[in-house]
Chain A
Amino acid sequence: DAKTTQPNSMESNEEEPVHLPCNHSTISGTDYIHWYRQLPSQGPEYVIHGLTSNVNNRMASLAIAEDRKSSTLILHRATLRDAAVYYCTLELFKLRIAGGTSYGKLTFGQGTILTVHP
């Protein structure tokens, strides 16, 4: 299975942009890139996902390299509430030959611990 590699930790100051990198050099052409974040004692929370093009939503932006071997999650203005573990994950695609349906599983890396300083 394709894997993701992220820095163990990153720090930022409040109200500054944060760029969280992720390497996924073995990604397949049909694998989606997802980002989730997790606070202590909580389940992961969806942030953003994409396939080939850059994506924007109210929480963040996702920049995907042209060769799709890396991506960057961009938090435009970090707040203290953004401090969490950020996971770059791949949704691996497998096509079921019988029935023609497809499915995917999320593979999580070790994540990046983001610390935001006031």
Chain B
Amino acid sequence: KAGVTQTPRYLIKTRGQQVTLSCSPISGHRSVSWYQQTPGQGLQFLFEYFSETQRNKGNFPGRFSGRQFSNSRSEMNVSTLELGDSALYLCASRVGRGTEAFFGQGTRLTVV
């Protein structure tokens, strides 16, 4: 079956702009989580959605937001981009708690 698909794979934005990243989970997976990966901070949890509801949120400023649609596809948005937002953004989907997570290839965001 198809894996987790993230689009776009690469993105270059200017400081102050906003960006929207997309994630299509594996069919049947209702849980979608987002992570930020940087060399200095490693993998950090952003938020998790389950059945269109945000179930958990990490320690990120309000500029980072997300949503999940009825078909489980998810988007995350970062407004007023800063240089420090440059990172690999990863999406993972799961059936639910206590199950394995499947990660996408990630979106590499560069803010200049």
- Name A's B-contacting residues (CB within 8 A): 32, 34, 36, 42-46, 49, 51, 87, 91, 93-94, 96, 101-111
Contact = CB atoms under 8 A, between A and B. Distances in A.
Given A34-B101, A44-B90, A49-B100, A105 B45 contact: yes
B98 A104 contact: yes
Contacts of B8: none
Chain B contact patch, size range: 20 to 34
Contacts, number: 64
B103 A94 contact: no
Q: Tell me the dominant secondary structure on chain B's binding face.
A: strand
A32 B99 CA distance: 9
- Per DSSP, chain A at the interface is strand
Contact of A43 (B48, B97, B103): B103
B98 A106 contact: no
Contacts of B43: 44, 87, 108
B38 to A, nearest CB: 12
A105 B56 contact: yes
Contact of A106 (B42, B45, B50): B45
